[in-house]
Amino acid sequence: MNLEKVSHRVAPWVLPLLLLAVWQVSVSAGWLSTRILPAPSAVIEAGVNLVRSGEIWTHLAISGWRAGLGFVIGGAIGLALGFITGLSTWGERLLDSSVQMIRNVPHLALIPLVILWFGIDETAKIFLVALGTLFPIYLNTYHGIRNVDPALVEMSRSYGLSGFSLFWQVILPGALPSILVGVRFALGFMWLTLIVAETISASSGIGYLAMNAREFLQTDVVVLAIVMYAILGKLADLAARGLERVWLRWHPAYQTHKGGAA
Amino acid sequence: MTAQQPPRLLKGIPLAVRKLRKAFGTREVLKGIDLHIPAGQFVAVVGRSGCGKSTLLRLLAGLDDASGGELLAGSAPLSAAREDTRLMFQEARLLPWKKIIDNVGLGLKGDWRAKALQALDAVGLAERANEWPAALSGGQKQRVALARALIHQPRLLLLDEPLGALDALTRIEMQQLIENLWQQHGFTVLLVTHDVNEAVAIADRVILIEDGEIGLDLIVDLPRPRARGSHRLAALEAEVLNRVLSLPGTPPDPEPVSPLPTQLRWAQ
């Protein structure tokens, strides 16, 4: 029984660990050039060195700041636009088709234009991240509000709710599952956009770390940067799931054991 | 502090319906309903599906506007008594993101928790107050919806087939619960149902709506508590059923398309 539990826990890790071992061995044995792929041990060593010099924290901080600020700005605008179009027919008529049109432009295609507008400094990167996170949140907020059960809205109105109290107690909680899906999509776009923006032009940040290392053929640092992006993406996703667990704890799909059918 | 309610002085609302008409597009659902309901009467409205009985209830609840006619509470328009009118829907319509007690207190201000607990106690669910609605069975959800309606101390309670989706035993339990609470509080009740047996077992008066008009108005003059399955009830039930079945059923109309009554917009 206990052994079974342990093997269930371990099973998902077997393949990745095996791959890592094969990778390590093929580099050590010289089958794989370090110019193509450094050994995992070298990547860890590069990481340790960067931590020791403290350099990694400045890069992490600046990347995190760009991602966070862009996400907050884009998310807030997306949420606000979603509320406007979701709650008012006029808002929908005026705004929705325009927003949908802009949404269909891949935001990374705007990079040349953005560089012309803002140069290559912080504003350009934050602008791109904001643009990338705006649309998933907008779209899911809008659909979330539109899909709030009209029967519940009707019931709440007949019990005297209207205006802000109706929005706060019924429409917003009803739209929240959809909004949080938007947040998770947006977090994915956030890192993607930041990676591209930092790779193209930056003088600090994880993307800069990677591009700089490429110039000196430090493949270990390049791989380290990629791993760091992966970890940051995973952390952002965990945070979003945490929000779902707190805000959607009423939802049968997010309930832990107690009382609900699995 | 104890949440003892003051003795009720307000009784039910006497209801008058005059030449009430309602049309969805070109389809006339109600064709001039005239009805007088004395204060505190328990009225069951029956009829084939699509006969307009739910529409009547929605007009009384103020969810839709009539195409013509008058709705009066005593001598004042019924719309002035909105606060005294509560509707229970076919589905419980609990907000899944509010705890059960918060669902009961929906729309209340001030210190309502003690009252809400009392209302939940009246329907036998006080100990579930802090659970999510998703944890309740269908019958329990309807009991919470009943508590939510009763906490407002309505003088007119409108019930739109609230027991339709419950299993037979839970239905009888709910019927008895509603009957008891009605006897305690003395509000006027309008119960829409498709179950003639339920109608004659619980109501003072059974009204049959046929094709948008009142086809039968029957007083059920039997003492309470009524013995289920009694001869007299069966005879009454047969009388209503014979009338329903004697008319050839109108072919089921397609549901009205344009202003679907449940598809309200919450913003203009």
User: Is the ipTM, as predicted for this complex, more than 0.85?
Assistant: no
Buried b (16+ CB within 10 A) or exposed e, A190-199: bbbbbbbbbb
User: What's the CA angle centered on A29, arms A28 and A35, to 5 degrees?
Assistant: 60
Which residues of A are less than 8 Å from B159 in CB distance?
Answer: none
CB burial class (10 A; 0-12, 13-18, 19+) of residue B236? buried
Mutating which of A145, A146, A170, A250 best tests the B interface, going by the most B Cβ atoms within 10 A? A250
Q: Over chain B, what HEC string results?
A: CCCCCCCCCCCCCCEEEEEEEEEECCEEEEEEEEEEECCCCEEEEECCCCCCHHHHHHHHCCCCCCCEEEEEECCEEHHHHHHHEEEECCCCCCCCCCCHHHHHCCCCCCCCHHHHHHHHHHCCCHHHCCCCHHHCCHHHHHHHHHHHHHCCCCCEEEEECCCCCCCHHHHHHHHHHHHHHHHHHCCEEEEECCCHHHHHHHCCEEEEEECCEEEEEEECCCCCCCCCCCHHHHHHHHHHHHHHHHCCCCCCCCCCCCCCCCCCCCCC
CB contact under 8 A, B93 and A170: no
User: Which residue among B87, B95, B134 sits closest to A158, beta carbon to beta carbon?
Assistant: B87
Cβ of residue B63 closer than 8 Å to a chain A Cβ: yes
Total beta-carbon pairs less than 8 A apart between chain A and chain B:
73
pLDDT band at A131 (very low <50, low <70, confident <90, very high): very high
State the smallest CA–CA distance between residue B122 and chain A in angstroms. 20
Instruction: Provide the whole-model pTM.
Output: 0.81
CATH of the domain at B188: 3.40.50.300
Number of domains into which chain B is organized: 1
Q: Rounded mean pLDDT of A128-133?
A: 94
State the smallest CA–CA distance between residue A68 and chain B in angstroms. 29
- Predicted confidence (pLDDT) per residue in A145-177, tens digit: 999 999 999 999 988 888 999 999 999 999 999
Whether B265 maps to a domain, the answer reads: no
Let me know: does A179 contact A79? Beta carbons within 8 Å: yes
Residue of chain A whose alpha carbon sits nearest to that of B158: A158
Residue A206's identity, in one-letter code, is I
- Predicted confidence (pLDDT) per residue in A40-97, tens digit: 888 999 999 989 998 888 999 999 999 999 999 999 999 999 999 999 989 899 998 8
Whether B263 maps to a domain, the answer reads: no
Mutating which of A154, A248, A249 best tests the B interface, going by the most B Cβ atoms within 10 A? A154
CB contact under 8 A, B264 and A156: no
Residue B181 structural domain: 15-246
Helix axes A206-215, A55-87, angle to 10 degrees: 130
CB contact under 8 A, A260 and B61: no
Which residues of A are less than 8 Å from B89 in CB distance?
Answer: 151, 155
Supply the pLDDT for residue B248: 63
A69: number of Cβ within 10 Å: 15
CB burial class (10 A; 0-12, 13-18, 19+) of residue B57? buried
pLDDT band at A1 (very low <50, low <70, confident <90, very high): low
B79: number of Cβ within 10 Å: 12
B93: number of Cβ within 10 Å: 23
Q: Provide the β-strand partners of residue B24.
A: B27
Residue of chain B whose alpha carbon sits nearest to that of A93: B268
Across chain A, what does the average pLDDT equal?
A: 89
State the smallest CA–CA distance between residue B154 and chain A in angstroms. 11
CATH homologous superfamily for the domain A36-254:
MetI-like (1.10.3720.10)
pLDDT above 50 for B237: yes
Q: Are strands B76-77 and B205-210 parallel, antiparallel or unpaired?
A: unpaired
Which residues of B are less than 8 Å from A174 in CB distance?
Answer: 97
Which residues of A are less than 8 Å from B135 in CB distance?
Answer: 259-260
Residue of chain B whose alpha carbon sits nearest to that of A173: B97
pLDDT above 90 for A201: no
Cβ of residue B132 closer than 8 Å to a chain A Cβ: yes
Let me know: does B128 contact B136? Beta carbons within 8 Å: yes
CB contact under 8 A, B98 and A250: yes
Q: Where are the domains of chain A?
A: 36-254
Mutating which of B82, B103, B266 best tests the A interface, going by the most A Cβ atoms within 10 A? B266
Residue for token digits 């449940």? B262
State the smallest CA–CA distance between residue A93 and chain B in angstroms. 12
